[in-house]
Every structure is written in structure tokens, then in C-alpha cells.
Structure 1
Amino acid sequence: MDVPPLRFPGFSVEWERVKVSDLLDFFSTNSLSWDMLNYENGKILNLHYGLIHKDLPTIVNMKDANLPFINNDKIPKNYTICESGDVAFADASEDTNDVGKAIEFINIDRDIVCGLHTIHGRDKTDITVDGFKGYLFSSKAYHNQIRRIAQGTKIYSISSKNMDEIYLGIPSKREQEKIFALLYAIDRRIATQNKIIEDLKKLKSAIIETEILHNTEADIIQLSNICNEAKQIKEEKPTYERIITVRLHAKGVCRSTAENLELGATQYYIRNSGQLIYGKQNFHNGAIGLIPDTLDKGLTSKDIPSFDINSNICNPTYLLYQLQHPSFYEPVEAFTTGSGSKRLKEKDFLSLQIKLPSKDKQDKIAYSITKISDKIEFENQILTLFQKQCQYLLSQMFI
């Protein structure tokens, strides 16, 4: 039977296979760039393809959506105003998974037009309900076909003519309504989950700002007062599996995935868990972290030196939160030296100044921030589950 693998109970009628070009009418769109748009004021809102790729959900509910206005002196002479139930596709992308990505408008209460690199479509058959098409064009059944017909090498593209080659299944309107209600509820929950995570990140950032970076009661000391360069123990028989590195933008320590490592050409040194390491060439890009227990006895070259922290006077986690903040590590680029690839030498690193309150205060601050970090990780795991659930349904509920 012509039905999807997963359906709601009570539905048994086969779906109708429809060519997308028979389902939708297509309208011309404008080519306005970002410098012709603004978020302050105007008469007409504009959908730029970049918003489809990055910011907008599958269903764009205009009761709470934020789109830019067209600058009043750039309004095109001819345009088609979007209606509730209209869909818009991004016609170009560097990724075949994103070319043809679609959104659907609902609850439109303002004038909106489709802009640069979009395809504007409208149901001309009246066989779909508002909201269903957004998920239909997000389904695996749709994207599998789009990937086969997308053209290009570095940039992949489609046009409205390609819709002649795509066939999708359409159920009864009652079944469409149930599919839309389920997926829209999950999407709204995902939006809520993202808001929870964003608020936790703001809370974490605020605590770091107020309790660490702008703590007026803390002493100002050099790192050399709490850190010393660790003893250099050579590893005579290094293996790829033990080589570790420190990621940019304060993303911590991990196993190296570099494919061009030459074990015989570089001397490696043993690093211990709890030690602080940084990348000499990229400290100012946030390449600094603490070695976790899981990477104990990992190996780095001299370009990633290690330091022991005096934990009697300094909480290592508190220290890391301070060092990993952009306002701390970015200005350090001024201390890098050398021709070609500039490096932050060990002596210059140890001369950097930090703010250090009492050990008891450090412990409390580090504990609070770590708890928030753990909460963010937990909420991210929940977000991933919702996203996987949505992707599963999009792969199983459409044909």
C-alpha cells in the first residue's frame, strides 16, 4: 500500500502521490541583500534565504516571528505578498542536506515577501492544511529526492522547475492535521528547551562576570604565584592514541584527531590529569584547558606546555573559568612573540595577572558554576532526544 511506515491509529486509506509542481504555484521573488533590510521599521517584511538556513523554525508563526523589513527606498515595484500556508524554499546551499530547506508561514498578519535565493510556493489545489506542508518538505522522503537533483559543485542549487521531478504523498486533511499537531508540539518543545539552555548560559555568564572577572574584593596576582611549569617527562614510545590537544574557544582538552602527526619527528611529553595546558600559538583563541582523568598520561609536544596548580590556594576550576573567558584570553595576543607563527612563551603566560579571592570563596563560586554547567549538559541531552524524535518521525510519517 502507498502509505508511510508510521501512522496514527484509525487511518487506513492510501495516500495520494502528487507531483510538487502540480501541488504548488510558484511566484517570483526579489534579490534584496542584507544591506537593503533592517529590523527597525518599514512597510513590508522580507524573507532572506539565510534565515531559512539558520534562524527560522519549520513553521514560522507570524504571531511571534521576527523578520527584517525592506528599507522603504528599496521596495520592489512588483512582488507577491505571502499568505498563511505559503511555503518558501532556500534554493542554494553549500550542503546538499540544506539545499531546498523549507519553511511554512502560518497566522500571517503583516505583509511579507520572499527574497534572495528563495522559492515561493502556494497550494493551488486546496488539498493541504496549513502547517502540514512545512513538515512534508522537511521529510526524509522530500530531501532524498532533492539531493539527487541538486546541481552544482561547491554551491548546490535548485529551481522551481526541479519540482517537476519530485513526488510526495498527501493524506486526508484530517490525517494532515494530526501530523501537524504532533510535529508542531515537538517543535515548540524544542524551542522551549533551547530557551532553557540559553537562560542557563546567561546565568553562568553573569556569575563569571560578577563573581570572577569584576570581583573588586579579590587579590590581583600573577599566575606564577599559583602555577609552575610541570616536570618535562619524555615519552620514548609515543602512540597516536595517547596524543592530546586543546581545542579553540575554551572547548577543553581532547584526544588529537590530526592526521598529519609524525611520531618520529616530534618529541612528546607525558601530561597528567589535573594539569593546566595551553596551545602556545592559540592561547588568545581560547586554547586552554584542564586535563581530565580520562586523558591522564596523555602526550603533547612542547607547543602545548603543562602546569601544576597549587590547589591549596587556588581552585583549578575557578582558575579555568577565568582563563577561558574571551575578555581574558583575547588581549593576550599582544604578549605573543616570534616571527611567522607567534607563540605565548611559558614565562609570559606565568606573568599574566588574575583575580583570586579567598580559597573558600573560590570553592563556592566554582561549585555554583559547575552545577550550572552540569545542568546545561543535561538539558542539552534532553534537547538532543527531542531533535532525534522529530527527525525519526519526519523519516517515518511521510512518503
Structure 2
Amino acid sequence: MFKGNGISKEQLTDTGEPCILYGELYTKYKSEVISDIFSKTDIDTRKLVKSKANDVIIPCSGETAVDIATARCVPYDNILLGGDLNIIRLYDCDGSFMSYQLNGKRKYDLAKVAQGVSVVHLYGDHLKGVKTYNPCLEEQKKIAKLLSLLDERIATQNKIIDKLQSLIKGLNDALYAQHGDEVMTSFAELGTSYSGLSGKSAQDFGSGKPFITYLNVYSNNVINENDFQYVAIKDGEKQNIVEYGDVLFTLSSETPNEVGIGSVYLGKEKVYLNSFCFGIHITNTKVAFSPYLSYYVSSTAFRKFIYPYAQGSTRFNLCKADFEKASIKLPTLENQKRIYSILSHIDNKIITERQMHDLYNSQKQYLLRQMFI
């Protein structure tokens, strides 16, 4: 058991020797057995640690004890292993099986031995105190094979979802290119804008009335009604309420191309909006069909339109007043409804595929809990 090398993101290149950075265990490699989609580096590697097929790697540090307990098996020789990685070199044990076991019931045993507060650390000496329970090698391989087949199905499901999302994006842009010059208007003409929550402190959050978070707006074309958080609102308190059909926008971001990310609320529940976004009540329903706007605000044409209204240097903010007055082009109301009908059918298919993905993942988690003592 030992640590990896000091390879940083800045040392990654387009060509060179394959390597794995510790952060990629959270972002790039989602299943227990690492695929051959490796980063590369051309630094001098003669004194750096390389993998042996069957190694298991676990991060040395992270934000939470549960997150840090993430085990992955490296099935190839000679992969450079980046810094802040624990490397477990196994003998007479299957690395895939061990990774599945450590990510099952052993995950919480790993979390218990991790140390730290704001940053949690997990080093080799801590890992030595974690007991594993291993059947014969042949049985280990059978268990790992079963779980890896389920991982392959989950990966296939992700590809299906990605292709459908690409299809929607392509159709959305193509249909807008065909019909987007039909009506000239502006968001100021389509409705009235309002701000998010005001006058709230940290103590006000956690219970009370539902509100839409920044991340909910940022991540979804249509607001996810299963992802509300809660805030205390007193009787008679003046706060703006989000209504059905409202278009919501983020106000700021670290990069200009992520300012003004839009989403549409199509729910019926009385909800509020976080303070880092603003909304527009769509009142001109003879010109705009709100469900279609959920696709319009994610189109390539709209993202190019909004980009110049991001101002700043280290932090970029949307110039809201100018943005609302600026002229936009929409299809006719009839064509908006037609485009929405086409794209929403594909979105419904994506919802079904995501439900299947969640079921496969639940099945895997059940097996991880039940197959290891």
C-alpha cells in the first residue's frame, strides 16, 4: 500500500503516457473497473509510480468521509497514478471484486477511519484497520463479473440518454433556424421581471415554504419539482412568487458563457426563487408559448444572443435591463406549439430511459449491500 505521483491537471497533454488523476475517480470513472479512456502526460515518468493490472486505488483526501471512500480497480499495467491516491497492490485477490466490496458495506468502514474536518484524509495507515471478507478467488471473479455486467448495462443506458439529448439539441437548433425569424419581440414585451428572495439569512433556510435553487435553474430546462429546498416565509411577508410559465435566469457565473442560463417553471405549486436568479412572468400569451421557451432559452442561437450581456472580469454578471429590452426572434405561436410537441415527445422518452437507469443503479446498490457481509 503506497501513494501515487504528483501529477497535476496543468501537466496533462494531448499525447504522452496514460495517467489517472485523483479527481477523475469522482468525475470521469463512474464504475468500479476503470475503462481505457485515460488522460495523458508527457512529463518525465522514469521515477513515477505506474500501475500493475489489478491495483485498487482510493483517494487520499476529499470533502466528506463518504465521498473519499471511492475505490476503483485499474485493470492495466503501466498507467501513471497521480498524487493523492492510495494504491493497494493485491495478491491472491481480484481487484474488481475488492473495489465492489469497498464501495458496498465497507464504504462506511472506510469513512469511519478517515480523519479531518474541512478536508478529510484517508491514508494507507488508516486503511490497514479496515477488514475485508473474501471468498475464494474463483468466487470473487464470478461476483465481479455479475456486477460488471450490470455496470455495462448502466453505461449503455447513459449512452442512450446522451444520444437522445444530442438529438433534441440538434432538432431544437434546426427547427429554430427554420422558423426563428418569424416574430420580433423582447422579454420586456413578453412579460414583467421580478427578483428572487431578499432579506434572508442562513438561519431562514432548511424548513418552511419551497423555493427553486440556483442549481435547479442552472441544471434543467424545465424546473425539477422534486428538487425544491425550503425557506421560512412569514405571513404577509413580501416576496415574489414564481408562477406557471415563468422563465427564470441565473444572474452571474465565473465564466461569461454560463451567465443567463434559463429554465421554465411548469408546475402548479406556490414556490419562491433563490436570490441569485430572476424571473419573468410571461403575460403576452398571444406571442409566447411558455413550454416552448424552455427549449428556446437552451438553443445555440439564444446562447449566442445572451453572451454579450455578461459583464465583469473575475465574476460575470448579466446586464439585466439591457437584456430584457434587447430584440429577440421567435417562431409564430402556432409553430412554437408544433416545435414543443416534437421535442417534448423525445424528452418523454428521455424521462423513461432515466427511470430505467435509476432502476439499474438501484439494483446494483441493492446487490452491493446484500452480496458482502
TM-score of the two chains, using structure 2 as the length reference: 0.78
Match for residue 53 of structure 2 among 84, 96, 99:
84
- Residues 367-378 of structure 1: matches in 2 within 5 Å? 367-378=341-352
Match for residue 37 of structure 1 among 12, 15, 23:
12
Q: CA deviation at 1:136?
A: 2.0
1:67: which partner in 2? Answer: 38
C-alpha separation in 1, matches of 2:115 and 2:336: 57
Largest Rg, 1 or 2? 1
C-alpha separation in 2, matches of 1:301 and 1:32: 39
Question: 1:181/1:306 Cα in 2 relative to 1: closer, same or farther (>3 Å)?
Answer: same
Q: What is the alpha-carbon root mean square deviation over aligned residues?
A: 3.5
- Residues 162-311 of structure 1: matches in 2 within 5 Å? 162-212=126-176, 214-215=177-178, 218-223=181-186, 227-229=190-192, 241=209, 247-249=216-218, 251=220, 252-253=222-223, 257-259=229-231, 261=233, 263-264=235-236, 266-268=237-239, 272-274=243-245, 276-278=246-248, 281=251, 285-286=259-260, 288-295=262-269, 306-311=280-285
* 1:344 maps to 2:289: no
Q: Contact 1:228–1:309 at 8 Å: present in 2 too?
A: yes
C-alpha separation in 1, matches of 2:147 and 2:229: 37
Match for residue 89 of structure 2 among 119, 122, 131:
122
> How many residue pairs were aligned?
344
Partner AA of 1:370 in structure 2: S
Q: Contact 1:249–1:287 at 8 Å: present in 2 too?
A: yes
Deviation per CA, 1:147-181, whole angstroms, max 9, x where unpaired? Answer: 11101111111111223211110012232122111
TM-score of the two chains, using structure 1 as the length reference: 0.74
Equivalent pairs: percent with the same residue? 22
SS of the counterpart of 1:83? coil
Q: Contact 1:52–1:101 at 8 Å: present in 2 too?
A: yes
Q: Can you give the 5+ residue segments of structure 2 that lack an aligned partner in the other structure?
A: 194-206
C-alpha separation in 1, matches of 2:50 and 2:318: 54
1:134: which partner in 2? Answer: 99
Q: Contact 2:209–2:233 at 8 Å: present in 1 too?
A: no
Q: Contact 2:260–2:318 at 8 Å: present in 1 too?
A: no
C-alpha separation in 2, matches of 1:113 and 1:224: 52
Question: 1:350/1:359 Cα in 2 relative to 1: closer, same or farther (>3 Å)?
Answer: same
C-alpha separation in 1, matches of 2:340 and 2:53: 50
Partner AA of 2:165 in structure 1: K
Deviant stretches of 4+, over 6 Å: 242-246, 299-303
Partner AA of 1:90 in structure 2: P
* 1:155 maps to 2:119: yes
SS of the counterpart of 2:150? helix
C-alpha separation in 2, matches of 1:316 and 1:144: 46
Q: CA deviation at 1:134?
A: 2.1
SS of the counterpart of 2:34? strand
